[in-house]
Structure 1
Amino acid sequence: MGRIEFGRLTAAWKGEASDFTPLLAERLDQLGEAVGVPLAQVGRAEVWTTGGRRIDIVTEDADGATFVIENQYGRADHDHLTRGLAYAVAAKARGLVVVAEEHRDEFRAVGQYLNDLAQKHPDNGISVWLVEAQAIRIDGGIWAPMFTAVVGPNDFVRAVEQDRQRAARKALTPDEFLALHDSDQQRTVSEKVIAWWTREGHKVRYGSTNVRLGAPGPSKNGSRTVVVVYADGTVSVPLHSYAGQNTGIPIASLTTDEFRAKTDRLFGFSGTEQWGTTAAGWLNAETAPQLRTFCLDVAAAYADALLSTDEGDIP
């Protein structure tokens, strides 16, 4: 029987914003299981607010309702809770999830108070989940996050949530994804991107709000994400995945200063993002060819790494 080891988040992911937030943004389905709400598998990380602050993650549920997620190491503080609430109110979000290693008793009381209000005023209230996180691994393997909800809506409110999402989170069909686009031009661009990626022999995987372009690469399932495309023209680039955070196998050519600088210029990143997200509308008729070149370069790097990696080294 394997030996289970628990640790603090910093033991597994050194940087909160640089390491843990991007990981969480890719594992929202796991967080959703902990809180009892089927969240989209991939969310947008480091979202700027009108006040010049950043929200850690913004995602959606199966109905397209907004959920705001704030995460931090150590004990939750007022800043993350109030910032998350402020953005959730402004965005008319359906729920706020605060992830930390520990939650104060007074914050638990606030969370329960807000959930009581949400029960009485379901059309205007915001449901709140407080989640405690820790790192876990078996026999010295790769660390994984473990989430435990310590505060959430009561059974009645949760039943309402589940009834509204009775179909649960499911992958969109190609037609459903295209129907999310607000303009014919944006829809046409997305259609072309998906078509040429498929013609290249690569896979596309539809989520509940996006489409993920993937390519064969060194990983347990033999595939790695290249980019994630949203209906509003936003593109997310999993730079931390290129560096091997999820698989333990970094792709050397995708972690050089030269590659990073080129990526930053193309997508308008600042050089610090580990899960880079463009502005809405970035993907258009002019940038689509540049995205194609970028994706093919990443896929080629994956293929080279796959050839040089022994199967036994893949976790």
Structure 2
Amino acid sequence: MKKLSSKGSDLRGNQHYDFTQWLQENIDVLNTALGLNLINVDREQAAGAFSIDLVAEDEGGARVIIENQLEKSNHDHLGKLITYLTAMSARVAIWIVSEPRPEHVAAIAWLNESTDADFYLVKVEAVRIGESPAAPLRRCSR
């Protein structure tokens, strides 16, 4: 499991939006953690009636979707991840959570074994030095 790293709640500010914006602007942090080269990162892209947190491209031009959840992983977000992957004909799905449940870690492992897509589960944490704002670290599993 790779770690984006303290509790997700330390990163919240305006929570989900702030983190998503931060990640869009600092995609190299995720690239380094996962060994990817994501580019052309767009926020809140439509997938039918739904909105994807981030959509990027890998170095080969394949679509990558990123779903952020700054809380314990849940079935709702796992369903979103699969729905967005399908709707965007993406090749890679990245799910960022503050607390991955064992059942969801197992589900991501099964999806990687059973499909042609690449799924990543990233645990986000934050580190704070003194009174500075919290900064994310990361842990990932695939």
Q: Which runs of 4+ in 1 moved over 6 A?
A: none
Q: CA deviation at 1:100?
A: 0.4
Q: Which amino acid aligns with 2:42?
A: R
Q: What's 1:77 paired with? A: 74
Query: Does 2:140 match 1:142?
Result: no
Q: Aligned to 1:141, what secondary structure does the other structure show?
A: coil
Query: Does 2:18 match 1:27?
Result: no
Q: What's 2:122 paired with? A: 131
Of Structure 1 and Structure 2, which has the larger fraction of its residues in helix? Answer: 1
5+ long unaligned stretches in structure 2: none
Larger Rg: 1
Query: Does 2:85 match 1:94?
Result: no
Q: Could you tell me how far apart the structure 1 residues matched to 2:11 and 2:53 are?
A: 19
Q: CA deviation at 1:147?
A: 0.9
Task: Kindly indicate whether the alpha-carbon contact (under 8 Å) linking 2:21 and 2:43 is maintained by their aligned counterparts in 1.
Answer: yes
Q: What's 2:42 paired with? A: 44
Task: Kindly indicate whether the alpha-carbon contact (under 8 Å) linking 1:16 and 1:72 is maintained by their aligned counterparts in 2.
Answer: no
Q: Could you tell me how far apart the structure 2 residues matched to 1:35 and 1:116 are?
A: 18
Q: What's 1:108 paired with? A: 105
Q: What's 1:63 paired with? A: 60
TM-score normalised by length of structure 2: 0.88
5+ long unaligned stretches in structure 1: 1-5, 119-124, 153-315
Q: CA deviation at 1:7?
A: 3.2
Q: CA deviation at 1:137?
A: 2.5
Q: Which amino acid aligns with 2:64?
A: F
Of Structure 1 and Structure 2, which has the larger fraction of its residues in strand? Answer: 2
Q: Could you tell me how far apart the structure 1 residues matched to 2:37 and 2:72 are?
A: 26
TM-score normalised by length of structure 1: 0.42
Cα deviation code 1:174-216 (max 9, x no counterpart) = xxxxxxxxxxxxxxxxxxxxxxxxxxxxxxxxxxxxxxxxxxx
Structure of greater relative contact order (alpha carbons < 8 Å, 6+ residues apart): 2
Q: Could you tell me how far apart the structure 2 residues matched to 1:54 and 1:65 are?
A: 19
